[in-house]
Amino acid sequence: MSMNTQGRPTTPGAATGSLGSGPAALLPAEPLLFEIGDRDHSGVDLPDIEVPEDRLGGLRRKSELDLPGLTEPEAMRHYVRLSRRNYSIDSGMYPLGSCTMKHNPRLNEKMARLPGFADIHPLQPVSTVSGALGVMAELSHWLMELTNTAAVALSPKAGAHGELCGMMAIKAAHAAKGQGHRKIVLVPESAHGTNPATAAFLGYSVKSIDANDNGTVDVEAVKAALSGDVAAIMLTNPNTCGLFESQIIEIAAAVHEAGAYFYCDGANFNAIMGVVRPGDLGIDAMHINLHKTFSTPHGGGGPGAGPVVLSEALAPFAPVPFLRKDGEGIDLVEHVEGSAFGRLTAFHGQMGMYVRALTYMLSHGADGLAQAARDAVLNANYLKARLEDLFSAPFNGQPVMHEALFDDEFLKGTGVSTLDFAKAMIDEGFHPMTMYFPLVVHGAMLIEPTESESLQTLDAFVMTMRELAEDARSGNAERFTSAPTRAPLRRLDETRAARQPRLKWIAPDDALEAAQ
């Protein structure tokens, strides 16, 4: 197998899409469009253009554009072949813990494609988009109702962006009270990496809080860390071990007593929506991932949306734009004199996601949302119950919320790591669970089935997981360390791919020239 200029293996026959040697499941590498097409061909015949000499001043291109010429079927097949390599929630169970990879109902898609939503432009006069504003207002209403909070900023475009928004509101609120000297943010060690990153990005220093033996945060540990220099705590509930923070009310009281704010990471809201209102627990700000809890597509499938709900205390520090009931109508407020930090995004955020999320809410109804949360919890506990005799669970003895957490204790002495185990799952047709997160557990395996998986699918998953665990423990390490053998590509240098991505195609002659 030779390497092309991109450092990817080139399989014989790759360009035509025929199979090379090796197992049938081992698909050939898909060449780039630049490698399929060439500069001398084109998919269309265009007449020579007669443009008056040069109306571009000195800006006219001097070099060739260097795009590959392709026919329509060549281009289409390339993308369809690539799409068939994707493992997606539409093709199978996707048990990534903390990610809530649930089914995206097609009704949501149908609504988002209604021309009245799909074809509007953010610069249209506000008077022509009252229907869209109505959707935003109704979504806002539901989000505040489900969380019992006073305000919501819809515009953040991801969970992490929502964290930034909420923490900026907290920073502005402290500044307004003359408390700008508060420079510490408390973050439990089980937190998602975005929490400390957000705090650090805003110039805070992060103080870590240890989890107790039950995998939750102790109110006494929080009290010990609180002081007049603490601006906020960022706590996830349910937390990333899949556990409900049982002392959350006491923690909120202690945080407020110390003059700090309570930021809650609500990415795991799926486990409690319609059952618990975070506002009742004393939170001041919380982002909600529409792309997790409310079933809008995520991962490679769509943009995220991370609205932030705010308590009475933080509501005045919300970013623009926001909606205000104005008599009978809804007013879009885009400019506020002395606004804490203006806007977070251009325009109004991810309109398509608002339509999808509201469709999900309305089609479930209040009782249906609570049912979805309860079913998600039931499914996670079912998996835990059926696996825990073979797998090792770090915080055993307590029921979980929406996800089941295991560690690598059961693999001790087998020569198989969590990573090897996950790769072997790929050979069995399952997407791996979340690995090595949360960091509080050694070799973590975090499994979140969500409510949208059937009992049959869960049972098939359990059977596969049990068979793999038994095989690992019977000494068949080779199956795991050599996996995956049935995927298009084997083990990748994922760190290098993330740190040094190759985003530009270099023509072979240029590469050759550069090398010489």
Ligand X SMILES: *Cc1c(COP(=O)(O)O)cnc(C)c1O
Q: Is 405 in the site for ligand X (CB under 6 A)?
A: no
By beta-carbon distance, which residue lies closest to ligand X? 159
Please, what is the minimum distance in Å from the beta carbon of residue 194 to ligand X? 5
User: Of the listed pieces 197-205, 264-272, 344-352, 505-513, which binds ligand X according to CB under 6 A?
Assistant: 264-272
Nearer to ligand X among residue 161 and residue 182 (C-beta):
161
Q: Is 306 in the site for ligand X (CB under 6 A)?
A: yes
Q: For ligand X, which residue of 10, 11, 140, 236 counts as binding (CB under 6 A)?
A: 236
Distance CA 328, CA 305 (A): 28
Between 375 and 404, how does the x/- string for binding to ligand X read (CB under 6 A)? ------------------------------
Residue 402 neighbours by CB under 8 Å, 6+ apart: 100, 238, 242, 268, 270, 271, 373, 376, 377, 380, 448, 450
Integer CA distances (angstroms), 108 to 134, 362, 364, 367, in order: 17, 10, 12, 19
Q: Is 448 in the site for ligand X (CB under 6 A)?
A: no
Between 180 and 219, how does the x/- string for binding to ligand X read (CB under 6 A)? ------------x-x-------------------------
Which stretches does DSSP call E strand in 154-293?
184-188, 205-209, 230-236, 261-265, 285-287
Q: How many CA atoms lie within 13 A of 456 on its CB side?
A: 1
Q: Closest Cα partner for 236 from 311, 177, 301, 160?
A: 160
Q: For ligand X, which residue of 218, 265, 420, 427 counts as binding (CB under 6 A)?
A: 265
Size of the site for ligand X (CB under 6 A): 14
Nearer to ligand X among residue 306 and residue 307 (C-beta):
306
Q: Closest Cα partner for 320 from 301, 297, 299, 336?
A: 336
Q: Closest Cα partner for 97 from 497, 437, 508?
A: 437
User: Of the listed pieces 69-77, 154-162, 442-450, 457-465, which binds ligand X according to CB under 6 A?
Assistant: 154-162
Distance CA 94, CA 367 (A): 26
What's the burial of 345, exposed, middle or buried (CB within 10 Å: 0-12/13-18/19+)? middle
- A 10 A CB-CB count for 268 gives 28
Please, what is the minimum distance in Å from the beta carbon of residue 174 to ligand X? 23
User: Of the listed pieces 175-183, 227-235, 262-270, 416-424, which binds ligand X according to CB under 6 A?
Assistant: 262-270
What's the burial of 493, exposed, middle or buried (CB within 10 Å: 0-12/13-18/19+)? exposed
Q: Is 289 in the site for ligand X (CB under 6 A)?
A: yes
Please, what is the minimum distance in Å from the beta carbon of residue 32 to ligand X? 28
Q: Is 264 in the site for ligand X (CB under 6 A)?
A: no
Please, what is the minimum distance in Å from the beta carbon of residue 320 to ligand X? 22
Peptide bond into 484 cis (omega under 30): yes
Tokens, residue 32: 């780039």
User: Of the listed pieces 5-13, 153-161, 316-324, 493-501, which binds ligand X according to CB under 6 A?
Assistant: 153-161
Q: Which residues make up the interface to ligand X (CB under 6 A)? A: 98, 158-160, 192, 194, 236, 240, 265, 267-268, 289, 304, 306
